[in-house]
Amino acid sequence: MVSDLNTMSEQAPVAVIGAGSFGTAVANLLAENKRVLLYTRLPERAEQLRTSRQSAGQTLHDLVEITGSLQQIADACYLIFPIVPSESFAAMIGDLAPFLRPDHILIHGTKGLHVEPPDQNLSLESKLKRQQVLTMSELILRETVVLRVGCLHGPNLASEIAQGLPAATVIGSRFDEVINEGKLALRSNRFQVYGSYDVLGIELAGVLKNILAIGSGMVRGLALGENARALLMTRGLSELIHLGKTLNIDPRAFLGLAGIGDIIATCSSPHSRNYTVGFRLAQGETLSQILETMDEVAEGVHTVQVALALANAEGLSMPIVGMLHRILFENAPVADGLQRLMSYRINRDVDFI
């Protein structure tokens, strides 16, 4: 029976749900090894992609087929990569769930968090219990019959992957089969894939690091120098690790590709959406102006709110995250907020190990 499943997984196409920049880049990576079904929700968008063979500024690989049918994906594919913004993830999973079977494998690439109830307004003083905040893997497990779930996180700027530049990622899952299937599907001479059993740690590290990318963009936008940017990144990382520890996350998750690796990439590159938000705020634009003109979601904006609310519920002080919250949502001046970074009285350097 095992050999039959292996043969089926080798012959079946794989699917990517979401034709944004990262979803398209992943689809093209997968197409170097397998046939790929790339799902987009709107029929007119699907037809446009079929005709132009262009998605998110990328030319589609010959082995990428466009589909607008979630049932087709579930019927044809054993391995599925959902890569849609976190604000759309619950609705997408709800639409996909009726077609899923227990033998499916889902490896998502969404760096965001789902909050319940989803329509609540989060302020500087809001508190969220851990049970109110779900990672995308937890959402999949709750809403579907699928058991073999994983996440795909790391320093994976879509623009660089699209150019064929070398990169690496980590697949987090409790199951060897999920990690191995993901490696077989994705790995190439330009894309290395690692594995980790700490799926929750990998997810949260990949999500929370977007907060630091926003702050890094602010420092760069104010031309405060690389020393100040390094200070914000390292002290901010300390805050995130302390938050992770209150949520029973092993600090080592923050020290690998999904943590420090992704921090280096997203905190330094103008191709990072979250970095761009911070940079443009420092240049004098408002958050609403920035978000209205961005083609894709900057997940870190919402993550700042969620992280601070989780910290508030635990009685944990996160001054850098709180500072970013004030700048993003309370119109605090960027320069004044970052100046506070230099006034924090911190006695120890590494205080989280």
d(CA 221, CA 304): 19
Burial of 255 (0-12, 13-18, 19+ CB in 10 A): middle
Site of tokens 């594995």? 195
Domain boundary among 201, 225, 257: 201
- For the chain, the domain total comes to 2
Looking at the domain assignment, is residue 10 inside a domain? Answer: yes
Type and span of the H or E element at 59: strand 58-59
What is the per-residue pLDDT for 118? 85
pLDDT band at 7 (very low <50, low <70, confident <90, very high): very low
Task: Give pLDDT tens digits for 255-311.
Answer: 999 999 999 999 999 999 999 999 999 999 999 999 999 999 999 999 999 999 999
pLDDT band of residue 11 (cuts 50, 70, 90) is confident
Q: What's the mean pLDDT when you consider all of the chain?
A: 93
pLDDT band, very low/low/confident/very high, at 204 (cuts 50, 70, 90): very high
Judge if 209 and 195 occupy the same domain.
no
239 burial level (CB within 10 Å; 0-12, 13-18, 19+): buried
pLDDT value for 23: 98
pLDDT band at 2 (very low <50, low <70, confident <90, very high): very low
Together in a domain, 150 and 109: yes
111 lies in the same domain as 148: yes
| Predicted pLDDT of residue 10 | 62
Q: Report the catalytic residues.
A: 209
Give the pLDDT confidence score for residue 119 in this predicted structure.
78
CATH number for the domain spanning 284: value is: 1.10.1040.10
pLDDT at 220: 96
Give CA–CA dist 318/303, Å, rounded.
Answer: 13
Q: How far is CA 144 from CA 133, 151, 245, 300, in A?
A: 18, 16, 29, 26
Residue 344 has pLDDT above 80, yes or no: no
Within a domain: residue 351?
A: no
| Confidence (pLDDT) at 4 | 46
Return d(Cα 108, Cα 116) in angstroms, integer: 20
Q: Does a structural domain hold residue 15?
A: yes
Half-sphere exposure of 169 (CA within 13 A, CB side): 27
Radius of gyration of the chain (CA): 20
3-state secondary structure of 192: strand
Residue 124 tokens, joined: 């500087």
> What pLDDT is recorded for position 113?
97
Local confidence band at 5 (pLDDT 50, 70, 90 cut-offs): very low
Collapsed DSSP state (helix, strand, coil) of residue 250: coil
Q: The whole model's pTM is what?
A: 0.93
Q: Is the pLDDT of residue 349 over 80?
A: no
- 7-16, 123-132, 196-205: least confidently modelled range: 7-16
Task: Residue 315: give the domain boundaries.
Answer: 205-343
**pLDDT value at residue 352:** 62
Q: Are residues 187 and 231 in the same domain?
A: no
Identity of residue 51: T
Do 123 and 272 lie in one domain? The reply is: no
Query: Residue 23: CB partners within 8 Å, gap ≥ 6?
Result: 16, 17, 38, 56, 81, 83, 84, 109
State mean pLDDT over 175-202.
97
